[in-house]
A = this chain, B = another copy of it.
Amino acid sequence: MGINRFFQIFLPKESKFFPLLKGQTEDLIKAADLLITFVHTSDHDKRKIIYSEIKQVETHCDKLTDQIFDELNKTFITPFDREDIHALASQIDDVLDMINASAKRIILYKPEELSQSMRKMADYIKEGVICIEKAIDELDKLKRNPKEVRIQCTKLHEIENSADDVYENFIIALFENEKNAIELVKQVEIIQLLENTTDKAYRIADVLKTIIVKYA
């Protein structure tokens, strides 16, 4: 138990962190929805437009993240341990960065086609992002009822496992069938980023579990 948690028992909590984290998850949902539209669009110029929208959401979330960090540095008593709020905010931001990076890589590499596996990955990213949103929504009720947050952590784990299966099967088939080395490189690097995005989403479960152990 850190010194912060000792004071938290006696002093009123600042609640400005919850709306800011909620703002971040709203951006995450927007970006995940845009990514789904993006991977279902075959026209390169239309994709460029959607990518620029993802980029805008990412820039907006960056500002929220900066705001959270500034508040953390200026606030004496935080509702959870400072480092855990910092980890949550920065890892939510990381997921959005990865969504943005995935779309950007597709724009830059211009692969001949986006596979069914890539579209499936975008779906998993959306599912993971919904879990994160639900968990953040429950965070201020955590001490009374940690069950809902625990459920979302389990779901995030299941999604990561499913995404991993899609990734593995895609890579095995790709190396067996793709004879064009440049196309293969493009496909490997794109699916890797998408898979890393689901992995980053899952990592938020670790922060959530830390908070549950400390507070619930």
Using a CB–CB cutoff of 8 Å, the interface residues on chain A facing chain B are 1, 3, 66, 69-70, 73-74, 76, 104, 108-110, 168, 171-172, 175-176, 178-179, 181-182, 184-186, 188, 206, 209-210, 213-214
Cβ of B108 and Cβ of A168 under 8 Å apart? yes
Can you add 11 more A-B contacts, CB < 8 Å, to A73-B214, A185-B188?
A66-B209, A69-B209, A69-B210, A108-B168, A108-B172, A108-B175, A109-B175, A110-B175, A178-B182, A181-B181, A181-B182
Q: Which residue of B lies closest to A189 (CB)?
A: B188
Identical chains bound together, number: 3
A210 to B73, Cβ gap below 8 A?
yes
* Main DSSP-derived SS at the A contact region: helix
Contact A186 B175 (CB under 8 A): yes
Q: CA–CA, A213 to B70, complex, Å?
A: 6
Q: B3 near A3 (CB under 8 angstroms)?
A: yes
Give Cα distance in the complex from A181 to B74, angstroms: 52
Contact in complex: B175, A73 (CB < 8 Å): no
Q: Can you identify 29 A-B contacts, CB atoms within 8 angstroms?
A: A1-B76, A3-B3, A66-B209, A69-B206, A69-B210, A70-B213, A73-B210, A73-B213, A73-B214, A74-B213, A104-B168, A108-B168, A108-B171, A108-B172, A108-B175, A109-B171, A109-B175, A110-B172, A110-B175, A110-B176, A175-B186, A178-B182, A179-B182, A181-B181, A181-B182, A182-B184, A184-B185, A185-B185, A185-B188
* Contact between B186 and A182, CB atoms less than 8 A apart: no
What are the residues of chain B within 8 A of A171 when measuring CB–CB? 108-109
- On chain B, the residues within 8 Å of A209 by CB distance are 66, 69
What is the CA–CA distance of A210 and B72 in the complex, to the nearest angstrom?
10
Q: Please pick, from B1, B184, B213, the residue contacting A69 in the complex, using a CB distance under 8 A.
A: B213
Report the nearest B residue to A82, measured CB to CB: B2
Residue on B with the closest CB to A65?
B206
